[in-house]
Amino acid sequence: MNPMLSRIRTPVKRQGAETYLLLTLLSFAASVALTRLFLEITGYPQLGGGELHIAHVLWGGLLLFAAALLPLILANRWVYLLGGLLAGTGVGLFIDEVGKFITQSNNYFYPGAAPIIYAFFLVTVLVYLRIRRNPPSQPRAQLYQALDELQEVLDHDLDPQEHLRLRARLQSIALDADHPDQARLAGVLLEYLNHQELYLAPELPGFWRRWLLRWQAFEQHYVRRTSLRAVLVGGLGGLAVVSILQVSRFAAARLAPEITIPGPAGPYWFAARLVFEAAVALMLVGGTILLLLRQVERGLQISYFALLLSLTTVNLLVFYFDQFSTILPASIQFLLLLAVIYYRRHFMKQEL
């Protein structure tokens, strides 16, 4: 058989890929929001003089270049955390100036820039959700991840819990009769891990583990079904009221124009925004009423789709007109969506 034809090129998800991508997402969102906030507070200063203007897109490109070089040069696992942080910050600084790249006038404040950035962020969120929902199941992928975890042995960072998980993974691969070569390699590695002289590091909680333990303690003491439902009723109801007032104000402004709508297609996009915002507001009102009437399952379902519609569709239009002032409302909607998902996962059985 041709050696090139016998090679396997199927991609394999890296161990901890969802963590690295989540860090990229968070740093991306933070860099855009903090950059806009800093520029707004300081009056949009410029670094340079004369003909020179050192825009922050250059710093973003520099960070992206560093994020690309690090995993090519270094083999340590912590490089991926650093690379995710640098990549997210770099792409945030880069894409923040997208308005300059798509307009002939190099207009940083082009209205379409904010929706483009938000859409790019949403696409990355979809990639994260896809990766998070597809754990590796094939023995080859499992062996890839086991080999990646073995780096902890070389760094003297393998603790007892990680040791148990790694042994369980290798035992599963070693029992696979369809791939004897991979099973044999897993058996050799398993024998090495079972050696009594293998050093195991003390099980000390890392940064993420410490925050997870704090959240679990907070969850155990303060997160209750009735209190969370009250928060949802207040949050969803308040969001509905704000949306209704905003739609009413904008509708009145169109009858007696007091606002400027950018672009020739602006009036049509504005009308679409009002229609979608009104629909989301009505859905939120319905969801809130159902929660008050203890029709929790239906209320949460309607609220879930209302928030999802707002985050994925309505906010694209809102960003066009309101620009980056929409970040705070979008963050509140996202937190309410997480609360709805949390309630459905943890308390729906009790309700039913």
pLDDT at 258: 56
Please check whether residue 166 is in contact with residue 193, taking contact to mean a CB–CB distance below 8 angstroms.
Answer: yes
The answer to whether residue 4 scores a pLDDT higher than 60 is no
Residue 200 neighbours by CB under 8 Å, 6+ apart: 158, 159, 160, 163
- Tens of pLDDT along 59-73? 999 999 999 999 999
pLDDT at 203: 72
Q: Kindly state the average pLDDT of the residues 246-263.
A: 67
Please check whether residue 185 is in contact with residue 150, taking contact to mean a CB–CB distance below 8 angstroms.
Answer: no
pLDDT at 81: 92
Please check whether residue 179 is in contact with residue 142, taking contact to mean a CB–CB distance below 8 angstroms.
Answer: no
How far is C-alpha 68 from the geometric centre of its chain's CA atoms? 20
Phi-psi region of 263 (alpha: psi -120 to 50; beta: other; left: phi over 0): left
Rounded to whole angstroms, how far apart are CA atoms 62 and 93?
10
Q: Kindly state the average pLDDT of the residues 13-42.
A: 90
The residue that leads in pLDDT, 349 or 176, is: 176
pLDDT at 5: 47
Rounded to whole angstroms, how far apart are CA atoms 115 and 315?
8
Rounded to whole angstroms, how far apart are CA atoms 93 and 351?
46
Confidence band for 301, pLDDT divided at 50, 70 and 90: very high
The residue that leads in pLDDT, 308 or 54, is: 308
Of 2-11, 195-204, 318-327, 337-346, least confident by mean pLDDT is 2-11
The answer to whether residue 339 scores a pLDDT higher than 60 is yes
The answer to whether residue 7 scores a pLDDT higher than 70 is no
pLDDT at 8: 64
Cβ-count burial of 31 within 10 angstroms (0-12 exposed, 13-18 middle, 19+ buried)?
buried
Q: Kindly state the average pLDDT of the residues 159-169.
A: 87
Closest CA to 316 of 109, 117, 97, 91: 117
Rounded to whole angstroms, how far apart are CA atoms 40 and 106?
18
The answer to whether residue 76 scores a pLDDT higher than 90 is no
Maximum separation of any 2 CA atoms in the chain, in Å: 82
Rounded to whole angstroms, how far apart are CA atoms 129 and 48?
41
The residue that leads in pLDDT, 264 or 103, is: 103
Instruction: Rank 8-17, 82-91, 179-188 by mean pLDDT and report only the highest.
Output: 82-91
Share of the chain above pLDDT 70, in %: 88
- Tens of pLDDT along 190-212? 888 888 778 887 877 666 677 77
Please check whether residue 114 is in contact with residue 326, taking contact to mean a CB–CB distance below 8 angstroms.
Answer: yes
pLDDT at 50: 63
Cβ-count burial of 167 within 10 angstroms (0-12 exposed, 13-18 middle, 19+ buried)?
middle
Confidence band for 257, pLDDT divided at 50, 70 and 90: low
Confidence band for 40, pLDDT divided at 50, 70 and 90: confident
Q: Residue 45 to residues 62, 95, 196, 346: CA-CA distances in angstroms?
A: 20, 18, 62, 48
The answer to whether residue 260 scores a pLDDT higher than 80 is no
Q: Kindly state the average pLDDT of the residues 117-123.
A: 93
Q: Residue 201 to residues 37, 98, 152, 166, 210: CA-CA distances in angstroms?
A: 43, 47, 9, 14, 17
Radius of gyration of the chain (CA): 25
Rounded to whole angstroms, how far apart are CA atoms 206 and 161?
13
pLDDT at 259: 58
The answer to whether residue 89 scores a pLDDT higher than 70 is yes
Please check whether residue 162 is in contact with residue 198, taking contact to mean a CB–CB distance below 8 angstroms.
Answer: no
Residue 115 has which token pair? Answer: 């929706």
Closest CA to 170 of 150, 187, 153: 187
Rounded to whole angstroms, how far apart are CA atoms 296 and 249?
31
Handedness of CA 222, 228, 230, 236 (dihedral sign): positive
Return the number of other C-beta atoms located less than 10 Å from residue 202's C-beta. Answer: 6
Residue 300 neighbours by CB under 8 Å, 6+ apart: 232, 287, 291, 340, 343, 344, 348
pLDDT at 31: 94
pLDDT at 263: 61
Confidence band for 256, pLDDT divided at 50, 70 and 90: low
> The whole model's pTM is what?
0.82
Q: Kindly state the average pLDDT of the residues 276-303.
A: 92
| N-terminal to C-terminal alpha carbon distance within the chain | 60
